Structure 1
Amino acid sequence: MNRRTLLRTTAAAGVALSLSGCLRRGDDEDALVVSDEEAGESEDGTFVVTVTISNPTDRAASGTLYVNSQLDDEALTRVREVSLEPHSTTTVRVEFDVQFRNMSSINWDTDLVED
C-alpha cells in the first residue's frame, strides 16, 4: 500500500468515527436517572421515601418508579409513573401507611424502569 492510499483511508475512517457520535439520536441511552434518594419520617409520622429523578437528555422520557421496602417483616412496594421533559428534574414522595416510630427494622431500595 502506498503512502497516499494509507493517508486517504485513515482520513476517511477518522471522519466516519467523528461523525458517528453526531449522528446518533440517543434513543438507546437511559434518559431517566435517579440523582438522589432518601428515607425518613413524614410530617404525619409515616415512613416516606423521597426520590429525585432527572432527565439530562434532549428528549422527553417516561418510566415507572418502584419503591420496594421491607418494614419490619412486611414487604411493601409502591409504584409511581414518571414523565419528564428534556433537561428537567422532579421529586417524587412515596409515603407508606406505616408509622415510622413503630418500626424496628427498615430496608428499602428504588428501581426506575424506562418505558
Structure 2
Amino acid sequence: MNRRTLLRRTAAASVALPLAGCLRSGNDEAGLTVAESTYEEGENGNAVVVATVSNPSGREASGTLYVNTEFDDESYTRVREITLGPNETTVVRVEYDVAYDDVTNASWNTDIVED
C-alpha cells in the first residue's frame, strides 16, 4: 500500500468513526440485545437453542436474530425476526431436526442486528 492510499484511508476513518451510530433512528438508547443463550433438549427430544432477547430501551425495537450452531461438525444457521416494545424481554426457542441424544459436540453463538 502506498503512502497516499494509507493517508486517504486514515483520514476517511477519522471522519467516519466519530459518526458511527449517529445515523440510527430513534434515541441513543441501546436497542435489542441477547441477554443469554443455552442449549437443551426439547420436548420431542430434539436439540434446541434458547435465547433470551431484551430491549432495555424506552422505544420499540425490531431486528433479526441469527443463531449459528454446530452439532458434530454440521453447521446450521437459523434466523428469527423479533420486535419488542420498550423494556420488554422474550425467550426465543430455536429447534433443530437433530436428536439431542445423538449430539456429542455442540457449539452455538447468537447475534442480533437491529433494523
Shorter-chain TM range is 0.7 to 0.9
Are residue 55 (structure 1) and residue 55 (structure 2) matched? yes
- Deviation string 1:15-66 (CA, Å, 9 cap, x unpaired) is xxxxxxxxxx963443111112111111111110111111111110000001
Q: What does residue 9 of structure 1 align with?
A: none
- SS of the equivalent of 1:101 reads helix
Are residue 89 (structure 1) and residue 54 (structure 2) matched? no
Extract unaligned runs of 5+ from structure 2. 1-24
Q: C-alpha separation between the residues in 2 aligned to 1:114 and 1:29?
A: 12
Q: What does residue 31 of structure 1 align with?
A: 31
Q: What does residue 114 of structure 2 align with?
A: 114
Instruction: Give the share of equivalent positions with the same residue, in percent.
Output: 52
| 1:103 partner amino acid | V
Structure 1 length as normaliser, TM-score? 0.73
Q: C-alpha separation between the residues in 2 aligned to 1:68 and 1:28?
A: 28
Q: What does residue 15 of structure 1 align with?
A: none
Aligned pair count reads 91
Runs of 4+ in structure 1 off by over 2 angstroms are: 25-30
Are residue 78 (structure 1) and residue 67 (structure 2) matched? no
Q: C-alpha separation between the residues in 2 aligned to 1:74 and 1:56?
A: 34
Structure 2 length as normaliser, TM-score? 0.73
Q: What does residue 3 of structure 1 align with?
A: none
